[in-house]
Amino acid sequence: MSSQVEPIDNEEDETWFASAAKIYPMEVKGRFRKIKWIILFITLGIYYFTPFIRWDRGPLLPDQAVLVDFERKRGYFFFLEIWPQEVYYLAGLLIIAAVGLFLMNAIAGRLWCGYLCPQTVWTDLFFRIEHMVEGDRRKRMALDKQPWNAQKILKKGTKHFLWLMIAWWTGGAWVLYFSDAPTLVYDLATGQAAFSAYLWIGILTFTTYSLAGHMREQVCVYMCPWPRIQAALTDEHALNVTYRYDRGEPRGRLKENKKRIAEGLPAGDCIDCNQCVHACPTGVDIRKGSQLDCIQCGLCIDACDAIMNKVGKPTGLIAYDTDVNIERRERGEKEVYRLIRPRTVIYTAVIAAIAGVMLYAQLNRSMTDLSVVHDRNPLYVLQSDGAYRNGYALRLLNKHNNEQNFTLSVEDMPEGSVLEVVGVHRTASDVVKDTAITLSVDADTTRSVRALVFSPPGVEMPGSKPMSFKLVNTETGETTIISDFFRAPGK
Amino acid sequence: MAEHKKEIDQVTGIETTGHEWDGLKELNNPLPKWWLYIFYGSIIWSIAYWILMPSWPLVNGYTKGLLNYSQRAVATEEFDVAAAERAKVGEKLMEASLEEIRDTPALLEFAMAQGKVAFGDNCAPCHGTGATGFEGYPNLQDDSWIWGGDLDTLATTISYGVRAEHDETRFAEMPAFGRDELLEKDEIIQVSNYVGSVAGLPVQDGVDLEAGKVIFEENCASCHMENAKGDMETGSPNLTAPTYLYGKSVENIIAQVNAPRHGVMPAWIDRLGETTVKSLAVYVHSLGGGQ
């Protein structure tokens, strides 16, 4: 009975804190290892070299394909240019990324963790360096145990130097996304770059070196929230890296199991060689079932398949499988794989819907925009001739790379209404007040103007009359209409 | 220390803490060591912080820290940098005429922004945040002006004020026709009703408007003009305007003729400087009532 158990208190033999046991993963060869290498080369290649891709946007704009320009408040992605007003694209991308993660989970568990997560990719690269310098699992374990000597110092020193170089390059590539890459590389090398650039390189060098070199699986087990969320989101039809205990148990050494078979006792295919445990980068035993520490990278599948081939048994003792299928096989039923389930359909639909909306918005993205804010105090002013005047703050956006001319007018106002824009020069012929006004906006910028709208003198106006501002590009004819209201004291 | 029995969780083989919630028992897994080291690191950081940064409140003030850091000093510094940045555009404002400022988009945008802030800080207490004024404080939104509403006139009014303590201030005072016994009580009622009739107000019963007109022509027209539309040169209000500074009713006109109130607007030029006054003039003009 738990009620008899007292909360524990300070006892000498209790350990409150424990050092993480160092994990020495064995290198494996196989299908999943190959997939992981290909993904590693592609993702790191994208990360390290994208800033150097050029993209011609004309003389006024930067020619870097992917650039976040904080100074001029623009984001560039190949043919896309994003203004701060369009930050909802970023929100859309983040929603797609989140639902994409859920979809991956519904299909095959922790695909993200095992193959795509930067923590996994960089840790894999760092393991590879460690393997090259210090040798495989047994050699590394022996090296750590042996006393310090010149050879150990050389090996450890080389490893940490290479790690730091990769970490430094990681930080260096990061800052290139925020400034013209070739110029920044030159400035960094000659010590002329901004302090913030060096600071960010320093920060990312530190995080890469410590997270990929030293923290490794501790990041996944203790720091990352995704394993907890993933465990709550998953279902029985999601493919997971699974030890098929229906086939493997009872496990036993090869000889023991042969003896058991000879005696007519049941014997599984698992020969308890522990290669799956030795290959695991997070140090788990997959035979205990799916667990929080397992990032489902598939390396234990490669390790086990190699052994199964050697002992002449079919591969796939550890494989992507579902709990449902294990139970079905035990009952002698046929395996089922249900890729199309409500949750995969819904996740796909959500991604498609958001992507569709973003694509539509992008294809119909106006090169011109107008924002209108009605004066709040006062809402209207009575003129001495009996007209009512309303004031509006307008902001015109010109996303073209050259100066554009626009005609501004008001719509849905009674005959004889007048539009004025403060500071727009009028010639003598304009004295007969016209309702359209020509405005120019410089290339790739905005212009704020104050507009005044006068109702015709003596015409009774409702308390709030819907009206709109119409902005027409005089060259292209592109039209933007923004609705607002004209206020007067009436009901 | 109370004796306690160790309880081992059967599934994991790990000791429990004895805490139980709805049948779920908490395992007593040890925390990783690095977690502990981060905690120690935070303690060291906080001690370093106490020494370097302002941190401990004292009876009279606080510990300043070795770095002598002060957010106030940083803010002041940033304020000075911004002021120097503004001064660059400010120089252009000094050189440009008010019309040039209004017609140059970059200068106009700057003047409007500066004028808006200066208005909120200095003018809004009397003229209101929306510049619509109050009784006795002119409405700057409408197109009725006492001294004139073009750019240069506005700049002059803002610079030197009205009836202010400045040598060049605008000055106009209406005689106190009642208090100083320049007109009889009946005459005041007659002339006030006449003015009300010109301004479109209902007049009081049994008042001789013709007599009022004669009194107006003899006493008032020299400043307010024959047609009662006033004269901005001398700061004489237009009596036919839709609104009156001290309220538009015959009673208010009688009170004003009897013993006029004379509001004061301070001179701002010495306090705000020419650049800000120019921005204010452009801003007030842009509200919509400018001429």
Residue A346 falls inside a structural domain: no
Contact criterion met (CB < 8 Å) for B286 and A423: yes
Q: Are residues A197 and A282 in the same domain?
A: no
Q: Are residues A462 and A320 in the same domain?
A: no
Does residue B3 have a pLDDT over 80?
no
Interfacial A residues in 216-245 facing B (CB < 8 Å): 218, 222
Residue of A141, A372, A110, A121 lying closest to A242 (CA atoms): A110
Residue A15 falls inside a structural domain: no
Contact with chain B for residue A450, Cβ under 8 A: yes
Residue of B79, B40, B46, B44 lying closest to B65 (CA atoms): B46
Contact with chain B for residue A147, Cβ under 8 A: no
**Among residues A330, A358, A383, which one ends one of the domains?**
A330
Stated pTM of the model: 0.75
pLDDT at A1: 41
pLDDT at A13: 54
Q: Are residues A225 and A257 in the same domain?
A: no
Residue A336 falls inside a structural domain: no
Most confident of A325-329, B91-95, B277-281: B277-281
Average pLDDT for B182-192? 93
Q: Are residues A201 and A242 in the same domain?
A: no
pLDDT band for position B1 (cuts 50, 70, 90):
very low
Q: CATH number, domain at A403? A: 2.60.40.10
The whole-angstrom distance between A3's CA and the closest CA on chain B is 8
Contact with chain B for residue A391, Cβ under 8 A: yes
- B105 half-sphere exposure, CB direction, 13 A CA radius: 14
**Percentage of chain B lying above the pLDDT 70 cut:** 98
Residues of chain B with CATH 1.10.760.10: 87-167+270-286, 185-258
B185-258, CATH topology level = Cytochrome Bc1 Complex; Chain D, domain 2 (1.10.760)
**Among residues A305, A330, A355, which one ends one of the domains?**
A330
d(CA A487, CA A378): 10
Instruction: Note the pLDDT tens digit of each residue in B4-24.
Output: 567 888 888 888 888 888 888
Residue A313 falls inside a structural domain: yes
Instruction: State how far Cα A84 lies from the chain centre.
Output: 19
Contact criterion met (CB < 8 Å) for A8 and B30: no
pLDDT at A425: 58
Contact with chain B for residue A4, Cβ under 8 A: yes
**Out of B36, B112, B241, closest to residue A450 by CB:** B112
pLDDT tens, residue order, chain A (491 aa): 444 555 555 555 557 788 888 999 999 999 999 999 999 999 999 999 999 999 988 877 889 999 999 888 889 998 888 888 888 888 999 999 999 999 999 999 899 999 999 999 999 999 999 999 999 999 999 999 999 999 999 999 999 999 999 999 999 999 999 999 999 999 999 989 899 999 999 999 999 999 999 999 999 999 999 999 998 888 889 999 999 988 888 888 888 888 888 888 888 899 999 999 999 999 999 999 888 899 999 999 999 999 999 998 999 999 999 988 988 988 888 888 888 999 999 999 999 999 999 999 888 888 888 999 999 989 999 888 889 999 999 999 988 888 899 999 899 999 888 888 888 855 444 444 555 788 889 888 889 999 999 999 888 899 999 999 999 998 888 899 999 999 999 77
DSSP, collapsed to helix, strand or coil, labels residue A395 as strand
Q: Are residues A228 and A242 in the same domain?
A: no
pLDDT at B24: 86
Query: Which residues from B are below 8 Å from A8, CB to CB?
Result: 4, 15, 17-18, 28
Structure tokens at B11: 């599934």
Helix/strand/coil (H/E/C) assignment for every residue in chain A: CHHHCCCCCCCCCCCCEECCCCCCCCCCCCHHHHHHHHHHHHHHHHHHHHHHCECCCCCCCCCECEEEECCCCEEEECCEEECHHHCHHHHHHHHHHHHHHHHHHHHHCCHHHHHHCHHHHHHHHHHHHHHHHHCCHHHHHHHHHCCCCHHHHHHHHHHHHHHHHHHHHHHHHHHHCCCCHHHHHHHHHCCCCCHHHHHHHHHHHHHHHHHHHHHCHHHHHHHCCHHHHHHHHCCCCCCEEEECHHHHCCCCCHHHHHHHHHCCCCCCCCCCCCHHHHHCCCCCCHHHCCCCCCCCCCHHHHHHHHHHHHCCCCCCCEEEECHHHHHHHHCCCCCCCCCCCHHHHHHHHHHHHHHHHHHHHHHCCCCEEEEEEECCCCCCEECCCCCEEEEEEEEEEECCCCCEEEEEEEECCCCCCEEEECCCCCCHHHHCCCCEEEEEECCCEEEEEEEEEECCCCCCCCCEEEEEEEEEECCCCCEEEEEEEEECCCC
Number of domains in chain A: 3
**Out of A6, A8, A17, closest to residue B36 by CB:** A17
Q: Are residues A182 and A317 in the same domain?
A: no
pLDDT at B20: 87
Q: Are residues A103 and A37 in the same domain?
A: yes
Query: Which residues from B are below 8 Å from A18, CB to CB?
Result: 30-33
DSSP designation for B1 = -
Contact with chain B for residue A337, Cβ under 8 A: no
Contact criterion met (CB < 8 Å) for A218 and B32: yes
**Among residues A277, A308, A330, which one ends one of the domains?**
A330
Q: Are residues A59 and A185 in the same domain?
A: yes
pLDDT at A8: 52
Give the Cβ contact number of residue A260 at 10 Å: 15
d(CA A436, CA A439): 10
**Out of A8, A375, A382, closest to residue B242 by CB:** A382
CA distances from A35 to A304, A314, B174 (A): 17, 21, 95
Residue A352 falls inside a structural domain: no
User: What superfamily would CATH give domain B87-167+270-286?
Assistant: Cytochrome c-like domain (1.10.760.10)
Torsion angle, alpha carbons of A238, A239, A240, A245, to 10: 110
Residues contacting B47, CB < 8 A, separation 6+: none
Residue A7 falls inside a structural domain: no
Q: Are residues A64 and A208 in the same domain?
A: yes
Structure tokens at A99: 């639902």
Instruction: Note the pLDDT tens digit of each residue in B35-57.
Output: 899 999 999 999 999 999 998 99
Q: Are residues A174 and A67 in the same domain?
A: yes
Q: Are residues A220 and A280 in the same domain?
A: no
Is residue A304 within 8 A of residue A317, CB to CB? The reply is yes
Q: Are residues A89 and A218 in the same domain?
A: yes
d(CA A488, CA A484): 13
Owning domain of residue A393: 368-487
Burial label for A73, CB within 10 Å (0-12, 13-18, 19+), is exposed
